[in-house]
Chains A and B, each alone.
Chain A
Amino acid sequence: MTSTLQVVLIVSAALFSTGLLAALSRRHAIFILIGIEMMLGAANLNFIAFWRFSPQSQPPTGIMIAIFSIAIAAAEAAVGLALVIAVYRHYRTTNVDHLDQLKG
């Protein structure tokens, strides 16, 4: 029988995959960011799960990583959203299909 850790990891994997799906299949630029946030959340879940099931260390490394990860994710989300707004202002669209200036 699968252990709790494995289950949690599988849940986190599912969450990760869903995040990937979101990033790949939406046409609004924002949703790529949402997908990335979900993937990051899944990773955090992984860290916490491993922290829970591993010999405890002082300081609690898993917790630390998760905290920092969240902070960084926030910063990245802010910048990303600012980017989307800037792009919208310039190109008048958020449809990623139309944002192919880097084509070549």
Chain B
Amino acid sequence: MSSVAFVLIAVLTLAAALAAATLQKLMHATLSFALTFVGVAALFFLLGAEFVGLVLVFVYIGAVAVLVVFTILLTRRDVGKDRGVNWGGAFLAVAMFGGLTWAILKTQSVAIAAPHIRALTVRRIGEALMTSYVWPLQCVGLLLTAALIGALVLVMEEKR
């Protein structure tokens, strides 16, 4: 794959993520969050999992980010004062990154070149979903139903 595109997209993603983590204005942070996932989806495309990337776009940006916007709008009253930079958290995040990187670089088994693969068609994914993964599919359906109902219950007005 093209390394330039890859680098660009990677940088974009990371910058957006950083913005989402640190921006003070909530709306801006939320939109950065959505942008992050655009970048991640692009990475997926680069890696050859187009379907998953699209799913990512639909779900995360189309649903989750919108939900987050709505929630921020609904819970606007308390803004609170600025907490200041959380040095502990920053340190931990850097440590986490450092540790992960060290582990990755240390591991020899991931030092491999990209093999040639055949294209991942939706057909293949559909077949897999309906045959080998039919049970997880059903379970996820159940889970989503439960989540839907649960969320509704949680936010229902207690007007009895």
Contact = CB atoms under 8 A, between A and B. Distances in A.
Given A13-B104, A20-B92, A41 B60 contact: yes
B111 interface: yes
B59 A66 contact: no
Interface in B71-94: 71-72, 74-75, 77-78, 80, 83, 85-86, 88-90, 92-94
Contacts of B5: none
Contacts of B40: 15, 41, 44-45
Interface residues of A toward B: which range? 35 or more
A63 B150 CA distance: 28
Interface residues of B, number: 84
Interface of B: 1, 6, 10, 13-14, 17-18, 20-22, 26, 29-30, 33, 36-37, 40, 43-44, 47-49, 51-52, 55-56, 59-60, 63-64, 67-68, 70-72, 74-75, 77-78, 80, 83, 85-86, 88-90, 92-94, 96-97, 100-101, 104-105, 110-115, 117-118, 120, 124-125, 127-129, 131-133, 136, 140, 143-144, 146-148, 150-152, 154-155
Interface of A: 2-11, 13-22, 24-28, 30-31, 33-35, 37-38, 41, 44-45, 48-49, 51-53, 55-56, 58-60, 62-64, 66-68, 70-79, 81-86, 88-89, 92-95, 97
